Amino acid sequence: MTAEPVTTPQSPSPAQAPPTVRASLSPSRAADFKTCPLLYRFRSIDRLPERTTIEQARGTLVHAVLERLFDLPAQGRTPAAAGDLVAPQWDRMVTEQPELAGIFDGAEPAGPVEFLRSAAGLLEGYFAVEDPTRLEPAERESLISAVVDEELLIRGYLDRLDVAPDGALRVVDYKTGGAPREAFEARALFQLKFYALVLWRTRGVVPKVLRLLYLRDAEVLDYAPDAEELVRFERTVVALWRAIEQATDRQDFRPRPSRLCDWCSHQALCPSFGGTPPPFPVGVAGADPLRDARSAPAAPGADD
């Protein structure tokens, strides 16, 4: 699918949301609640800080390189050109977020060198599954949003949106982790269905393809949604929001232990590990309890 720029109606930004909207939700925060309600509370209500991991920083770096790769003329989008973007984009990220320089503390002396090399290796995986010289994305790293159920603003960042000459949409998401086993494909597609719902509600077009590009394994996962499925998914999102609303009113966010706990930053505060959560923030339950606490959805690549 060769993409062409298109002009579409603008969906409401969080700052421009209709007055009826009293809550917002991103796919990352929705996934947090599905995974562990207490994790959602720690991130979206308590707003506890989390140190960026090397894996998260690598994902954000690779996303930044792939975004800027398409600034180059089509024939210039080569593996070598992508590799040349790695170090400058990392320097930019560290300038904008100086704390990133500390992610290598305690690592081997070759840590930063290996980090940049591994990012370049993931880019090789990208070129193994796609030829960027044949693509002209309509949108890259764009924030999209829509209102559902009259009160809930759903929003998130698209890695890439391709639009065919006939108007067909393809949503593309870059993943720097490994491809999931079949049993976990539904979890991997949750985020893209979220985006598909926004696009359908704001542009009146159901995306033809939802595409996950797993760069580490050089694998592609395509999924074709339909309108009936998105109607069901919208009901799921609204039901999830109502569950968050109820948990907030009751100040009751319970842990849900799983293998994902091994990567959680908040074990010291989790009852499942003998910890005690901090007091519930005063005033949260009475004023805008479901406003997605972070000023914007997670940065592209941060959740890989």
Nearest by Cα to 85 from 99, 104, 64, 55: 64
Whether residues 228 and 120 share a domain: the answer is: no
Whether residues 68 and 165 share a domain: the answer is: no
pLDDT of residue 195: 97
Q: How many domains does the chain have?
A: 2
pLDDT band at 10 (very low <50, low <70, confident <90, very high): very low
Type of residue numbered 274: G
Is residue 285 pLDDT above 60, yes or no? no
Whether residues 24 and 148 share a domain: the answer is: yes
Asked if residue 257 belongs to a domain, the reply is yes
pLDDT band at 14 (very low <50, low <70, confident <90, very high): very low
Whether residues 29 and 84 share a domain: the answer is: no
pLDDT, tens only, 80-114:
999 999 999 999 999 999 999 899 886 555 588 99
Domain boundary among 133, 152, 180: 133
Asked if residue 288 belongs to a domain, the reply is no
Asked if residue 79 belongs to a domain, the reply is yes
In percent, the amount of the chain with pLDDT more than 70 equals 83
Whether residues 94 and 156 share a domain: the answer is: no
pLDDT, tens only, 144-167:
999 999 899 999 999 999 999 999
Distance of CA 43 to the CA centre of its chain: 15
Average pLDDT of the residues of the chain: 87
- CATH number of the domain where residue 219 is located: 3.90.320.10
pTM score: 0.85
Mean pLDDT for the stretch of residues 120-131:
97
Asked if residue 287 belongs to a domain, the reply is no
Specify the 3-state DSSP secondary structure of 224.
Answer: coil
Is residue 292 pLDDT above 90, yes or no? no
Mean pLDDT for the stretch of residues 25-35:
93
pLDDT band at 301 (very low <50, low <70, confident <90, very high): low
Is residue 263 pLDDT above 90, yes or no? no
CB 245 within 8 A of CB 41: no
Q: Could you give the CA distance from residue 77 to residue 84 in angstroms, rounded to a whole number?
A: 11
Q: Could you give the CA distance from residue 58 to residue 95 in angstroms, rounded to a whole number?
A: 16
CB 194 within 8 A of CB 187: no
Whether residues 186 and 93 share a domain: the answer is: no
Whether residues 70 and 172 share a domain: the answer is: no
**Contacts for 14 with CB less than 8 Å, ≥ 6 apart:** 24, 145, 153, 155, 296
Whether residues 196 and 141 share a domain: the answer is: yes
Asked if residue 80 belongs to a domain, the reply is yes
Range of the domain at 93: 54-133
Asked if residue 175 belongs to a domain, the reply is yes
Q: Could you give the CA distance from residue 47 to residue 191 in angstroms, rounded to a whole number?
A: 22
Q: Could you give the CA distance from residue 206 to residue 151 in angstroms, rounded to a whole number?
A: 22
Whether residues 81 and 170 share a domain: the answer is: no
pLDDT, tens only, 200-241:
999 999 999 999 999 999 999 999 999 999 999 999 999 999
